[in-house]
Structure formats: structure tokens, C-alpha cells
A and B are shown apart, each in its own frame.
With several copies, the nearest count.
Chain A
Amino acid sequence: MAVKLKFFAMLKGLIGREEAELEIPGEISMAELKTIIKREYPVLADLIDKRGVLVSVNQEFAGNEMTIKDGDEVAFLPPFSGG
């Protein structure tokens, strides 16, 4: 099982890329996914813990209880600055 990760704006620079694939051990919660992400991308750990980024699953905002499934697109969204 795998999910597609997307990084926007300043996160692209921090991570060094816009997209990545991540193997997951089966259907897991967003909370569990965040734990994996923080290990794989330590540079995101602080932002995730301090809620400095929002997370979406398949183009919709998602909370920690959301179930992540195979093929989902999970995006990390720094504070918006449109308008």
C-alpha cells in the first residue's frame, strides 16, 4: 500500500521536492500517518506538531481521525496567502 504526498509553497523548499510516494503498512489513521511522516521528513515534525501546516486527503481538509487508504493523495498545506 502506498500514498502520494504533495508539498506546497515553502514546504517544497524545505523537503526539496513537490511530490513523493510513501509506503504505509495498511489502512491507518491520519494521526498514525503523521507519526510516519515526522520520522521520514524530520523537517516537517515541528510544523506538524505546532499545527503550522494543514493536511488534506484527496483535496479535502482532513483531521487526525481520518482513515488513509491505498492510493490516497495526502497534501501538506502551509498557511494560505491568496487574495
Chain B
Amino acid sequence: MAGLVRIQSEDFSVEEEVKRIKTVSKEVGGVVSFLGTARNISKGEKIVSLEFEHYPVMAEKKLDEIRKRALDNFNIIEMGIVHRVGRLDIGENIVLIVAAARHRNDAFMACEWAIAELKRVVPIWKKETTGKGEVWVEEHP
């Protein structure tokens, strides 16, 4: 079975990932998911496609740390994270974070924290292809 935290080029099933996280305990009362998808517009430019690159080993390690810190710092029962790499078309799934908790507030807080933290500390980079060519995105210049 695939792990709870993964980087992969294939698409993922939201249903399967949510089911895997929600069934870890009968105490789960709320599951919050964040699904990031490939938008067609970025800073006013029309996007044709995206490509994600990652630093293997380090990126997986950082994602795993995010899950562990979420379990330590929020009152959640489980968290799963999947991030895709490689070339993606508009509308495709990029990332999914699923947090399961007894109570919904904890799941919301953990999920929101995890996606912000992912953007901050995980060595993954996005290249956008527009009509003008390709450019590596710098979200935090």
C-alpha cells in the first residue's frame, strides 16, 4: 500500500486518500481536505501547462516532517499528503492534504497550517509555460 506521505507523477484519487485517512480510527468526526489544482491564470498571464520539480529524498523528508509536526501540534488523528511532480495540464490535481480529527476545528487548523508550511519548507519548484515561454515561479521573492 502506498504511504500516507508521497511525491509521485501519477494522479491520485481524492476518494481513496480521504478514505485511507478517515478509517484510521472510529473516533474520527471531521476530515478536512485541501486539493490544489492547476489554474489557467497566474498573475494575469494565461498558463498553458505547469511542471513541478522536486529535490528527491529531501522533499519527501520535509513532507514527512510536516505530517509529524501536525500530529504533534494539533489535536488530529492522522494526516496524509500527496504532491505530484512532472508536467501537468490546466485543471489537474497538484497536491492533496487530508487531516482527520475528532472535532472539525482541529482538522481545519492542521490542514491550513500544513499547506502553508509545505509552500514554505518543501523543496518543490513550479515552472509555468505561458505564451511567452517558460518561467520558474518565485512565490516568495
Q: Which residues of A contact B (CB under 8 A)?
A: 6, 8-10, 13, 56, 59-60, 75, 77-83
User: Does any Cβ of A come within 8 Å of B87's Cβ?
Assistant: no
Q: Is the CB of A80 within 8 A of B122?
A: yes
State which of B10-18, B20-28, B69-77, B123-131 sits at the interface with chain A.
B123-131
Residues in chain B within 8 A of chain A (CB atoms): 36, 52-55, 57-59, 61, 83, 94-95, 115, 118-127, 136-141
Question: Which B-chain residue is minimally distant from A6 (CB atoms)?
Answer: B55
Partner of A82, one of B124, B138, B141: B124
Is B55 a contact partner of A8 (Cβ separation < 8 A)? Answer: yes
**How distant is the Cα of A8 from the Cα of B137 in the complex, in angstroms?**
12
Q: With A and B bound together, what is the CA distance between A6 and B57 in angstroms?
A: 13
- Whether the Cβ atoms of B121 and A80 lie closer than 8 Å is yes
Residues of A within 8 A of B36 (CB): 83
- The distance in angstroms between the C-alpha atoms of A56 and B136, with both chains bound, is 20
Asked if residues B127 and A9 are in contact (CB atoms below 8 Å), the reply is yes
Q: How near does chain A come to B41, taking the closest CB pair, in angstroms?
A: 16
Contact of A80 with B123 at beta-carbon distance under 8 Å, contacts A8-B53, A8-B55, A75-B55 already known: yes
